[in-house]
Amino acid sequence: MKGVVFNIHDVALLLIAGECSILAVLFLVHRSGRPFAHPLLAIFLILNMLVAVDTLVYWGEAVRYRVFHISPNLFFIFGFSYFLLGPVLYWYTRSMIYSDFPFRRLSFLHLLPAVAAQVYLYFAYHRYPASVQGDLVLGLEIFTSTDGYHDIFITMQKAAVVIYGLACLYQLARYRALLKESYSSIEKIDFVWLNLLVGGFLLAWSWSLFTHIFGLYRPGDISDTMGITGNYMIFVLVNSLVFYSLIYSGVLGGAVSQGEKRDRSEGRGPIGPRHLDRIRAAMEKEKLFLNPRLTVEEFAGYVKLPPRQVSSLIKRRFSRNFLEYVNGYRVEEAKRSLADPANSNNPVLDIASKSGFNSKATFNRFFKKFAGVTPTEYRRRCLSGQPG
């Protein structure tokens, strides 16, 4: 990135900043079923814009001279952005996976590194007069004047996002495992979009971290080229996100089929008693919940209703999603069996299996959620005459 103002490498950074800004606005003006998802994604894109501008200001040789003459304090002004990228992507991933994703006080502990970064940058750069600041950034003396701490600071910047990216992948893997073991979940997310977003940025961030470490030991043209390559990786990724979100993904509330429109319209209408009776009968008389691989599509076919309408009716009437609704019946079935003295010698897992559960973890989680105690403790209380 050394040469004339706005050379091809600088233009790539400008395009990244511009495209991230436009995409952020698009997500802000489109509503999502998950209240935090689009605002968090917009913030993430804005942070990427700020990182691109910060990179251009600091490493664009001709650009930084002009910026310095405007105001030396424009350097590192967006230093906090690097440490916010990871937490915001992590929150966005969780908000997509869990529709009831909450913000708690402890969540804001993720912001402490960004605050600490600003404190460090004040002592390393902003507290000095302009004459000293010029030597620090225009002569790149900040690396030597801080006795190597600035190298550590940049390493932390680049390592933090990689760690958060891995945490996001773990959340996605955990969610996939939950879908495989529960079968009945109706929470559908765009895995292609999330994999492109999380996987793409994790790859780019990992490359950036590797480039930085390589440059510490082998500074020169090779590490410079690797750094420029990392910028183009982000450029290609952002363009891919723009293309996918506008053409293929429903993430921007794109085209909806006529069937989906009809399902949504039905889901917003009044709750019909006949529909609820069919749903209850399928559970209470036919005991469809005993099928461990029951899906909302199969259930909807049995009660002769659209899957989206079934989901909406259950959500509105019982304040549960389909997974919780089905497993509620399974828990009640398991409770009856556990409380029966005739089953006192039957293993708990056998009872869980006969009640429709196909996973020990799912059984234990939902039993504790609905009964308030573990299956073993519930059996002990019932058979000893204690209130369950």
Q: At the topology level of CATH, where does 8-252 sit?
A: Rhopdopsin 7-helix transmembrane proteins (1.20.1070)
How far apart CA 333 and CA 205 sit, in angstroms, is 49
| pLDDT, position 2 | 42
Contact 342, 379 (CB under 8 A): no
Place of tokens 């966005």: 92
How far apart CA 280 and CA 231 sit, in angstroms, is 56
Place of tokens 């480039």: 211
Buried b (16+ CB within 10 A) or exposed e, 163-198: ebbebbbebbeebeebeeebbbbbbebbeebbebbb
Place of tokens 């009660």: 303
How far apart CA 371 and CA 335 sit, in angstroms, is 8
Helical segments of the chain, H only: 8-29, 37-59, 61-70, 81-97, 112-121, 130-138, 142-145, 149-182, 191-194, 200-217, 221-247, 258-268, 273-284, 296-303, 307-318, 322-339, 348-354, 360-371, 375-383
Contact 92, 40 (CB under 8 A): yes
Packing angle between helix 360-371 and helix 322-339, nearest 10 degrees? 80
| Domain 8-252 shares a fold with domain 258-383 | no
Side-chain-side CA neighbours of residue 355 (13 Å): 29
Angle (CA) 184 188 194, round 5°: 135
How far apart CA 68 and CA 57 sit, in angstroms, is 9
pLDDT in tens, the chain (388 residues): 444 444 677 888 889 999 999 989 988 887 666 678 889 999 999 999 999 999 999 888 778 889 999 999 999 999 999 999 999 999 999 888 876 677 888 889 999 999 999 999 999 999 999 999 999 999 889 999 988 899 999 999 999 999 999 999 999 988 877 665 554 443 455 678 888 999 999 999 999 999 999 998 888 889 888 988 988 999 999 988 888 877 755 555 433 333 444 444 444 555 567 888 889 899 999 999 999 888 888 888 898 888 888 888 888 888 888 888 999 999 999 999 999 999 888 999 999 999 999 888 889 989 998 999 999 999 999 888 765 5
Class of the CATH domain delimited by 258-383: mainly alpha
Name the residue ranges covered by the structural domains of the chain.
8-252, 258-383
Q: Which DSSP category does 127 fall into?
A: T
How far apart CA 24 and CA 13 sit, in angstroms, is 16
| pLDDT, position 262 | 46
Integer-rounded Cα radius of gyration of the chain: 27
| pLDDT, position 252 | 56
Report how far Cα 32 is from the mean position of its chain's Cα atoms: 14
Angle (CA) 343 326 99, round 5°: 135
| pLDDT, position 267 | 46
| CB count in 10 Å sphere of residue 334 | 27
| pLDDT, position 3 | 41
Buried b (16+ CB within 10 A) or exposed e, 304-319: ebbbbbbbbbbbeeee
**CB-based contacts of 170: which residues, under 8 Å, 6+ apart?**
none
Can you say whether residue 374 is alpha, beta or left, with left for phi > 0 and alpha for psi between -120 and 50 degrees? beta
**Sequence letter at residue 63:** V
| pLDDT, position 377 | 92
Contact 150, 143 (CB under 8 A): yes
| CB count in 10 Å sphere of residue 248 | 12
